[in-house]
Structures are given as structure tokens and as C-alpha cells.
Amino acid sequence: ILNVEQSPQSLHVQEGDSTNFTCSFPSSNFYALHWYRWETAKSPEALFVMTLNGDEKKKGRISATLNTKEGYSYLYIKGSQPEDSATYLCAPALSNFGNEKLTFGTGTRLTIIP
Amino acid sequence: DVKVTQSSRYLVKRTGEKVFLECVQDMDHENMFWYRQDPGLGLRLIYFSYDVKMKEKGDIPEGYSVSREKKERFSLILESASTNQTSMYLCASSTGGVWQYFGPGTRLTVT
């Protein structure tokens, strides 16, 4: 089983502060890197899919970067809001099945303190 | 909007029973997936299917089988349920290497 690590495991952030967390993965056989947000009692929802080294994606206050050569991605949240509280999962596609088969990290659980 | 539905939100079964978990998607996606989620372990892939009647083992297929007779439906089968299969099961679908769409999950308890 491929090793995908996310850090930190959990994080408490004051409302209004910015934060970031990391996903590291094996850099060989890389096809794509997915980020998902999973709120309690809901289904995981996609945030970004990135494929190219140096890729940066942005969605509102959330952005992500990708370094495929060294095998890591950062997720940034600017000006955290209570609705950002969720578990953030990264999942690289690292197999002969190309973009389809994902290996999920254990996630970073983010709690925003009002 | 893509919709992925799962047959039950909560299920309680006895050890040794045969259990069927059903997943249906309405967007004509060719790929479908079954995961289980356990505390501290994240989402782990059990099986996936990239076409009707095609299946591939994921990372933890032992004790499970799958069936995909129609494009929109992907079933996970626990041939003889055991207590270590108590978990949250999530189904997902995708097409063309874009992100996966997840169902609401089925929380299965095996007693």
C-alpha cells in the first residue's frame, strides 16, 4: 500500500486566521493529486484536482499548490471561517490505472474556533 | 448535479450473514468505487470497476466481492460478515480522470 501522509492530523485555528497543511506522497508513477473536504455527516466533496508540477489552484479563500518532483502538496485557507471546519483529504493517483485509482491520506481535521 | 445514492444509511447484521450494499449513480460514469473508512486509517479502497462487468481489487479486497451488471449500479457483497467489517462504507463514481463523487455512506455494524 502506497504511503500518503498528511500533517498535521488535527488543527485548531481561530476564526479569521490563515492556515495551511501538507500532503506528501511518493513521486513515482504520479498522475494527479486530488483534495477533498469532508464535513461531518456529509459526503466528501472535491476541492481540486492538480496534475502538473508547479500547479496552483484557487477556490475562494482556499488554494493549493503541487510539487510532483518532491512529492508534496500544500492546502492554504485564508481568513478561516467556521464553515471551513472539516477533514481535508488528499489523494494522489499513483498507478497504472492513471487518474482513476486514488490512495487517500488519513486527513487533516480542521476546527475553526469562533 | 451528479447524484450517488446508497441503499441504506445504517445497517445492522449478524456475524456470518451475507450482506449486500448497493450504490447507484445517475450520471453515466464509467468508474465506480467502494471504500471503507475507519478511524485513524482514512479511506481505503476495497474494489473498483471501470466498466460493466469489469472489476479490479483495491487495497483491502479480502472478505468482499463486487458486482456490476449495469453501468449505474455497483454492489458490494460481504459473503460472510464478520465483526471486523464493522465500518463506514462509501461508494463513489467518476469519469475521465476528474474528481470522484461520493455517496452519503452506509454505516454497517456486524454483531
pLDDT tens, position by position, B66-110 = 999 999 999 999 999 999 999 999 999 998 767 899 999 999 999
pLDDT tens, position by position, A25-60 = 998 888 899 999 999 889 999 999 999 999 999 999
A44, A100, A106: residue with CB nearest B41: A106
Q: Give the best residue of A100, A103, A104, A106 to mutate against chain B (max B CB count within 10 A).
A: A100
Searching chain A, which residue's CA lies closest to the CA of residue B32? A100
Q: Closest approach of chain A CAs to the CA of B62, in angstroms?
A: 14
Q: What is the mean pLDDT of chain A?
A: 92
**Measured CA distances, A5 to A2, A84, A90, B60 (Å):** 10, 21, 9, 19
Give SS3 for A9.
coil
Residue with cell 481540486: A48
Burial class (CB in 10 A: 0-12, 13-18, 19+), B13: middle
Residues of A in contact with B42 (CB under 8 A): 89, 104-107
Amino acid present at A73: S
pLDDT tens, position by position, A62-97 = 999 999 999 999 999 999 999 999 999 999 988 666
Share of chain B above pLDDT 90, in %: 83
Burial class (CB in 10 A: 0-12, 13-18, 19+), B33: buried
d(CA A57, CA A66): 9
